[in-house]
Structures are given as C-alpha cells and as structure tokens.
C-alpha cells in the first residue's frame, strides 16, 4: 500500500477518498484492507491510477489475475473485481466502458469435521491459549476476526453466554458458552492475565509493524498458525481453514436437532439463505440453544 502511495502519482489521494467512502458505507476494516491492497497492486502494475487505466488493459489484467491466482475460491480475483467496482462508483464511472465480470456464488458444500476430529483437534495444542482459542471458534461458531476482537468483559460466566460485538454487518449477538469451555477460559485468564483483549498479540506483533493486521490483538496469522499446527498434530487430512470450525459448529447443531432459524441467529447471518446450506446434513427440530461442546463432554457440568 505504502509503495503505491509513494510511487504512483495521485494514489495516496485516491486511497484517502476511498477510505472515507468505505467508512461512510459502513464497511469494516478488513474490507478497506482487502480492497485497497488489490487496487494498489493494480496501480503498481500499470504505474497509474486504477480509475485512469484503459478498459482493454483492465480486461488484460483481470485475465492475468485469473491465470496467476486460480485458487478454488478465486478470492484474489473476486476482491480485485469488488475493489474496482467500488472505485468506479466512487468516481462516478458507472458508464465507463469496462464490463467487469459477475461473481458467481460458490455452490460447493462446506468442509465439516466429524466429532472425533474435533476432539482430536481440541486435544492437540500444547498451549492452553490455543486450546481455548480453538474451543471458542468451534464451540461458539465464531469468525476469525470475532475471536480476535473478544474482551474479558464479553464473557458472562454466570449466564454462560458470550457477547459477540460488532460481528459481520456490525451486528451484536449472544451465543452459549459450554461448561468445559468456561472452565478452560477461567484457567487461561488466571494463568495468562490478558489485558486489552482476551487474546493479546506477541510483543513483536504489537510493536514490530505499524497498521494493518498487527496491533495489540492476537493476529490473524497467529490464529491461522495455531489451527494449522493443531490440525497437523491431530492428524486431520481434510482441507480446512479457521472458517471450517464455524461450518462444523452449525452442522453439528443441526445434527443435534436445533432449528435453522435459531442457528441463523447464533451465526449472525443477515439472510436465511446463507444458513440454508447446512440443511443437507440434518433434519431440523425445536430444542433449546446449547453449545456443541457440551455434547462432546457431557460430564463437564
């Protein structure tokens, strides 16, 4: 980002305008970071502002991105297109002759861990911090940024509830805490004595780099590394990410009989269609909300 601001004339001003528009539109920091990163890459490639590049060159660039980043999710390509769309709207270039491709929704079913795989995953980490971290991701169905944003004040041990603040779409929600996870959290807090955040970053992450993902919170890379190491030690061969634990949370709740509307609220989904993908694995029923960790360790009460 800084390289583009320094080397491409006018990019810093474009970025500042872009940042303001993103903020006013109610988008999160991750959206700003992702969109800006892809616009900066494009600007450096052409040594020109993305909004000034010829339509033919844009199409050639998108073809190049598609060839170089042909991943299963096509996430790099998607964010490049999304960023360009937002920039064009911002600059009033909707009528510019650039036909950006429509992005098709990924219709593949999510990867889901078995209960035995979850048990092995929770047992694998050597550090209590990592066991609790993975326990929250699975046991509460959290997104990566949501677990990073947790504070001690978000934990209600008396009611056994977790307050998830400003999730996706700027929505707060409450999710149940299991008994065994509550015990683990209390032990972790007593041992580690976290301050600003429930999971603080390492000193070099806090002071080593400015801006971006490196602040006093546990970094996104740190969360990903902890899960990757646990997956390896647990001998799990499925292609999984941090979000796989959220998919597994929803699927296991469905298999235990929790209804789809309650799961929608627990996940913080805006639209029921997003939650419906989990219906392929279980029949729905009307039961009281609970954490799936309680089913793994029923004697923890």
Stretch among 8-17, 146-155, 206-215, 223-232 having the lowest mean pLDDT: 206-215
Whether residue 85 sits in one domain with residue 119: no
| Higher per-residue confidence, 196 vs 80 | 80
Token output for 176 = 């149940």
Stretch among 102-111, 176-185, 245-254 having the lowest mean pLDDT: 102-111
156, containing H or E segment: strand 155-156
Whether residue 272 sits in one domain with residue 129: yes
Q: Which residues contact 2 (CB under 8 A, 6 or more apart)?
A: none
Q: Among 73, 90, 107, which residue terminates a domain? A: 90
Residue 206, pLDDT score: 42
Residue 281, pLDDT score: 55
In eight-state DSSP terms, residue 28 is -
Whether residue 40 sits in one domain with residue 138: no
Domain that holds residue 61: 2-90
Q: Among 22, 57, 90, which residue terminates a domain? A: 90
Indicate whether this model's pTM tops 0.95. no
Question: Does pLDDT of 237 surpass 90?
Answer: yes
| CATH at residue 225 | 1.10.443.10
Mean pLDDT of 27-37: 85
Percent of the chain with pLDDT over 70: 83
Question: Does pLDDT of 245 surpass 90?
Answer: yes
Mean pLDDT of 227-231: 97
CA angle centred on 224, ends 231 and 34, rounded to 5°: 145
Question: Does pLDDT of 179 surpass 90?
Answer: yes
Whether residue 236 sits in one domain with residue 287: yes
Q: Active-site residue numbers?
A: 143, 168, 243, 246, 269, 278
Is position 110 within any domain? Answer: no
Residue 82 and residue 74: Cα distance in Å, rounded? 12
Residue 94 and residue 273: Cα distance in Å, rounded? 29
- The pLDDT tens digits of the residues spanning 109-132 come to 788 999 999 999 999 999 999 999
In eight-state DSSP terms, residue 152 is G
Question: Does pLDDT of 94 surpass 60?
Answer: yes
Mean pLDDT of 226-233: 97
Whether residue 140 sits in one domain with residue 271: yes
Is position 67 within any domain? Answer: yes
Whether residue 234 sits in one domain with residue 128: yes
Query: In the chain, where does DSSP find H-type helix?
Result: 2-7, 11-24, 29-46, 55-68, 75-90, 115-123, 128-139, 144-148, 179-192, 203-207, 220-234, 242-255, 260-267, 272-275, 293-296
| Higher per-residue confidence, 176 vs 104 | 176
Residue 283, pLDDT score: 40
Partners of 176 in the β-ladder: 161
Is the distance from CB of 90 to CB of 220 less than 8 angstroms?
no
Whether residue 287 sits in one domain with residue 147: yes
Maximum average pLDDT range among 116-125, 166-175, 202-211: 116-125
Residue 214, pLDDT score: 46
Whether residue 239 sits in one domain with residue 131: yes
Is position 106 within any domain? Answer: no
- The pLDDT tens digits of the residues spanning 152-163 come to 999 999 999 999
Whether residue 256 sits in one domain with residue 174: yes
Maximum average pLDDT range among 22-31, 151-160, 273-282: 151-160
Whether residue 155 sits in one domain with residue 50: no
Residue 183, pLDDT score: 96
What average pLDDT does the chain have? 84
Could you give the number of structural domains in the chain? 2
């Amino acid at each position: 980002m800084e390289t583009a601001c320094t080397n491409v004339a006018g990019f810093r001003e474009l970025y500042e305008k872009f940042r303001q528009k993103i903020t006013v539109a109610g988008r999160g920091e991750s959206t700003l970071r992702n969109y800006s990163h892809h616009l900066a890459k494009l600007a450096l490639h052409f040594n020109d502002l993305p909004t000034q590049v010829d339509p033919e060159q844009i199409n050639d660039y998108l073809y190049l991105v598609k060839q170089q980043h042909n991943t299963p999710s096509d996430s790099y390509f998607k964010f490049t297109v999304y960023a360009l769309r937002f920039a064009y709207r911002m600059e009033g270039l909707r009528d510019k002759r650039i036909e950006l491709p429509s992005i098709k929704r990924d219709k593949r079913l999510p990867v889901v861990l078995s209960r035995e795989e979850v048990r092995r995953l929770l047992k694998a980490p050597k550090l209590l911090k990592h066991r609790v971290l993975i326990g929250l991701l699975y046991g509460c169905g959290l997104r990566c940024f949501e677990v990073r944003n947790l504070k001690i004040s978000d934990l209600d041990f008396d009611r056994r509830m977790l307050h998830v603040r400003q999730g996706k779409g700027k929505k707060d929600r409450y999710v149940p805490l299991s008994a065994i996870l509550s015990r683990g959290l209390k032990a972790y807090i007593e041992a580690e004595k976290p301050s600003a955040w429930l999971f603080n970053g390492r000193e070099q992450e806090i002071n080593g780099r400015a801006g971006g993902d490196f602040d006093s919170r546990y970094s996104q890379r740190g969360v990903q590394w902890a899960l990757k190491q646990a997956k390896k030690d647990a001998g799990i061969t499925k292609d999984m990410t941090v979000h796989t634990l959220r998919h597994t949370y929803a699927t296991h709740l469905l298999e235990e009989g929790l209804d789809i509307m309650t799961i929608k609220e627990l996940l913080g989904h805006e639209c029921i269609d997003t939650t419906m993908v989990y219906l392929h694995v279980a029949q729905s029923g009307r039961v009281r909300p609970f954490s799936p960790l309680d089913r793994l360790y029923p004697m923890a009460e």
